[in-house]
Structure 1
Amino acid sequence: MSALNNKPAGTAKLLNKKVISWAIWDWGSAAFNAVATTFVFSTYLVSKLFGDHDASSLKLSWGLTIAGIIIALTAPISGQRADRKGRGTFWLGANSFVVFLALLGMFFVRPQSTLGTEGALWLGIFLISVGNIFFEFASVNYNAMLSRISTPETMGRISGIGWASGYLGGIILLFVLLIFFLGDNPVVAVSGEDGLPVRLAMLVAAFWFGLSALPVLFALPGRAVEGHENDEKETLRDSYKRLWKTVKRLYAEAPHTLSFLGASAVFRDGLAGVFTYGAILAAVTFGFTPGEIIIFGVASNVVAGVVTIAFGWVDDFWGPKRTIMFSLSVMVAMGLVVFFFHDQGKIVFWIAGLTLAGFVGPAQSASRSFLGRVIPEGREGEVFGLYATTGRAVSFLAPAMYGLSVTIGQNFVADGESATHFGILGIISILLLGLLILIPVKEEHAYLDSFDGK
């Protein structure tokens, strides 16, 4: 069995100072996930304020692609180094601080600056790309803490609480920004010139994240790692050699862990696609107005948060693998409902779309708890780094399958009609593929009692 089973009984309490402090970091993470990368700053960069929309989108895409490659190549060794020195908390703080600085810097991205419009655009792309890199590094350290604040009996619920906190934090922060800066009649009436409302929103987002990141740093200090007190400073080459040794060890002794990493990489890309392309389907296929899309977005996040918390209990009772499989099965079924009944009006998307969104969180949360249960103590950061890397490695799947499905669908609709609803088939095909890869994975064969730390 995993070393996690040796956790002291005192950690079994579901809500305590450590758990709440840990979940607050996820609450604050919405400042980057929802505000910077999804709804506010990224759309600001591709707006007419920075010139041609398509040209700006292409440049932003390249910036984020480069960031993704850097993450894929370095996330495992960043987690590994933190593990070996017992400095996961320190690096969570350091990486979070860089994200805070990136968010803060976004306030200074204005088209009419001395940098010029083009220079300001590249500054924004640089900041959001750097933020992505260090947010992913911080997430590796953050996920690695799960086993320190839970037992195998409570891990699913605690993981779910953290994930749901991110959803709910995003909703509240977006509402605050809409009311004060970004709505039609904001409380803070400022000129829209030079992107000031968005820039003020990023200032709020920076401090929202920075303050939320502090509690966990005090509640979960670093830990001593026996046998590594006198380790010499290792080179990047040494780190990659250790990482390769870990992969070989997993292949030889816990191949089901590697299989899970592969399966989760696939279905997590499909889960991301649900939110990425959901708004497009709502607008194009079901005729949602921009206001209705915002309302649906808020509703879907509320549902996802509530369902994620509820399924944390299911995870602990039923096991993470079954929770993931059930969630993916429901999502595939609802995707088919969206496709076959897309011409029946908005009510179809309200029901099936909300159900789809609702089960994204449980699948994500149970994936984290699956790994948290099987990773030996002291190697969490390294394996969660591999988790990040495998996810980045296949991040092209959902966009590719969505585009391919819409392209194929154009052959089955009349001239002038939209084939956008075929895109849902591409997304659910990724979810189904991940589900099929997951089926043979056996949790009882994924445990490793320890790794050779040398």
Structure 2
Amino acid sequence: MTRDADSPQTTPPTAARTGALGPIGRGVDGERTSRRVVASWAMWDWAMQPFNTVILTFVWIALYLTSRQFLDPAVRESGLLADGSYMNCNEAQYLDSAYCQGLTDLSEWWGWANFAAGILILLLAPVLGQQADARGSKKKWLIGATIAIALVQFALFFVEADPRYFWFGALAVAIGAVVSEIGNVSYYAMLSEVSTPATVGRVSGLGWGLGYIGGVVALIVCIPVLFGLGQDDPLAYKLVAVICGVWTLVFSIPMFRNVPESPAYAESEKVGFFRAYAVLAHDLVKLFRTNRPTFWFLLAAAVYRDGLAGVFAFGAVLAAQGFGFSFLEVIVFGLAANLVAGVSTLVAGRIDDAIGPRRLIVIALTGLVAMAFVVFLLKDLGSIVFWICGLLLCAFVGPAQAASRGLLTRLTPPSMQGEIFGLYATTGRVASFLSPLAWSLFLAWFGGIVYGVLGIAVILLIGLILLLFVKLPPHVRA
């Protein structure tokens, strides 16, 4: 079998089995890996998706924690209009009201909680990744992170619809985000152990695709609770959080049972926690000197990945406030967005192996920038524009994410997978302020929420340009 030119020369020869996924993987001992192990690894994406889709993006934060239910009762009542509806804070006449300012404050406070989470990830992720490499404990970290995320979701049941509980809810979700990223470090680093150079793209795509489709199913499971109890009943959101926690635990079981623990790499130095920072600094300098494409790719990916995150982070807000989507339409759009992203990612996994991850990322980022500008230019045509172009945006996000993970796996020596993916998480968080900043600045400068999509487009475009300047080895189809 021909070695993939994108994979490092330190990668051991692979003995692989042919199946539905083609040559599956080499396993932690250099031997063949079964389809069951690959599928079990990919199921962790499925298990984690309710936290990302339901809690962080479309339901718990957007429709509950930052909603009027967490305003002071007097402020909430001040936003009630004569016809029984509430002020639309996208209309200029209401922008300076106490009600709209209160909602803005809630979103701002959630942003600060998220910022604090980013700082913790910046400090912890690469060091914990280095230790997982050295001690052969990636799976242990992943199991611990999974249990912690489930407990965070269970804790959200106790968040009452009261301003006094806002910070409890915000910090709980922020801690969940930290633990999720730490878990991702080990999960991503295990990709090289369940795939071969020939299948890394489709295996990575399988995980991302299952994740997005899991988000669709999780939303469908939660819809009867949300509409049965009503969108203004706090119990609906409490029960949704519990459902997500149970989902995370149940669907992580295949990974716990079937995926073997990673080996300890002799090349990775076993040191204490604080000493690991010195080792990390040394390895960063070494990475710059010996594997400069990986170093510069991490920086370019940090920018465009923040743009990718911005598509989902602000997509629901743009739909509801910019294009007038109702509560039901936001939920339906969330279902469609995850379904489109999941299917496109599964398909793109095979394209990745054929043309190479770098080309696929460039194609996806170009499509994202184009669709973002189309959404803005055709905004006067109404919601149909966002339905079409918004879903096309989602179709490009998943392939770009999966291909980035696959490309980094190819570029990184096996003994540094955990550490490099720790840096991958860190660099992504270092730039995590870019999309929120661009979004807010464009709203402040131009005064309309639809202008925010231009801010996201600018970040994606900058990331694309940076990637084009990164010199990577040519892709050779394995």
Which TM bucket (shorter chain)?
A: 0.7 to 0.9
Matched, 1:222 2:261: yes
Normalized against structure 2, the TM-score is what? 0.83
Displacement of 1:212: 1.5
Matched residues in 1 for 2:166 and 2:456: separation?
31
| Alignment partner, residue 44 of structure 2 | 25
Displacement of 1:131: 1.1
Matched residues in 2 for 1:10 and 1:328: separation?
34
What is the aligned counterpart of 1:138 among 183, 187, 193? 183
Which one-letter code corresponds to 2:149 in the other structure? Answer: V
| Alignment partner, residue 403 of structure 2 | 366
Normalized against structure 1, the TM-score is what? 0.88
Which one-letter code corresponds to 1:16 in the other structure? Answer: R
Matched residues in 1 for 2:386 and 2:12: separation?
43
Displacement of 1:118: 5.2
| Alignment partner, residue 121 of structure 1 | 166
Displacement of 1:96: 1.2
| Alignment partner, residue 30 of structure 2 | none
RMSD: 2.3
Matched residues in 2 for 1:135 and 1:278: separation?
21
Matched residues in 2 for 1:228 and 1:396: separation?
35
Matched, 1:51 2:62: no
Matched, 1:425 2:461: no
Cα deviation, 1:291-322, whole Å, max 9, x if unaligned, reads 22322222121111111111111100000000
Matched residues in 2 for 1:62 and 1:331: separation?
27
What is the aligned counterpart of 2:133 among 73, 83, 93? 83
Matched residues in 1 for 2:450 and 2:68: separation?
28
Distance 1:48 1:288, change over 3 A: closer
Matched residues in 1 for 2:305 and 2:289: separation?
25
Which one-letter code corresponds to 2:66 in the other structure? Answer: V
Displacement of 1:355: 1.0
Matched, 1:150 2:195: yes
Unaligned runs of 5+ in 1: 112-116, 411-418, 447-454
| Alignment partner, residue 95 of structure 1 | 145
Unaligned runs of 5+ in 2: 1-7, 26-33, 73-101
Contact 2:308-2:397 within 8 A present in 1 as well: yes
Matched residues in 2 for 1:66 and 1:237: separation?
21
1:36-75 correspondence runs (5 A):
36-42=55-61, 43-52=63-72, 53-54=102-103, 55-75=105-125
Displacement of 1:258: 1.1
Cα deviation, 1:340-360, whole Å, max 9, x if unaligned, reads 222223332222221111100
Displacement of 1:405: 2.3
| Alignment partner, residue 451 of structure 1 | none
Contact 1:254-1:445 within 8 A present in 2 as well: no
Q: Secondary structure at the residue paired with 1:97? A: helix
Matched residues in 1 for 2:169 and 2:372: separation?
35
Which one-letter code corresponds to 2:71 in the other structure? Answer: G
| Alignment partner, residue 8 of structure 1 | 15
Displacement of 1:207: 0.9
| Alignment partner, residue 440 of structure 2 | 403
Displacement of 1:228: 7.7
Which one-letter code corresponds to 1:224 in the other structure? Answer: P
Contact 2:219-2:335 within 8 A present in 1 as well: no
Matched, 1:316 2:361: no
Matched residues in 2 for 1:323 and 1:80: separation?
29
Distance 1:408 1:206, change over 3 A: same
Matched residues in 2 for 1:58 and 1:22: separation?
36
Cα deviation, 1:190-242, whole Å, max 9, x if unaligned, reads 9976x22211111111110011222112222223325489x76x333310011
Distance 1:306 1:445, change over 3 A: closer
| Alignment partner, residue 469 of structure 2 | 440
Aligned residues: 425
Displacement of 1:372: 0.8
Cα deviation, 1:377-433, whole Å, max 9, x if unaligned, reads 1211110010011111111111111222233334xxxxxxxx333222211111111
Matched residues in 2 for 1:190 and 1:440: separation?
51
Q: Secondary structure at the residue paired with 2:390? A: helix
Q: Secondary structure at the residue paired with 1:379? A: helix
Matched residues in 1 for 2:12 and 2:356: separation?
15
Matched residues in 1 for 2:385 and 2:266: separation?
59
What is the aligned counterpart of 1:274 among 281, 287, 311? 311
Deviates more, 1:72-81 or 1:15-24: 15-24
Deviates more, 1:347-356 or 1:257-266: 347-356
Q: Secondary structure at the residue paired with 2:323? A: coil
Which one-letter code corresponds to 1:21 in the other structure? Answer: S
What is the aligned counterpart of 1:302 among 329, 339, 343? 339
Cα deviation, 1:313-337, whole Å, max 9, x if unaligned, reads 1100000000000001111111221
The percent identity for this pair of structures is: 40
Displacement of 1:13: 2.8
| Alignment partner, residue 169 of structure 1 | 214
Distance 1:361 1:236, change over 3 A: same
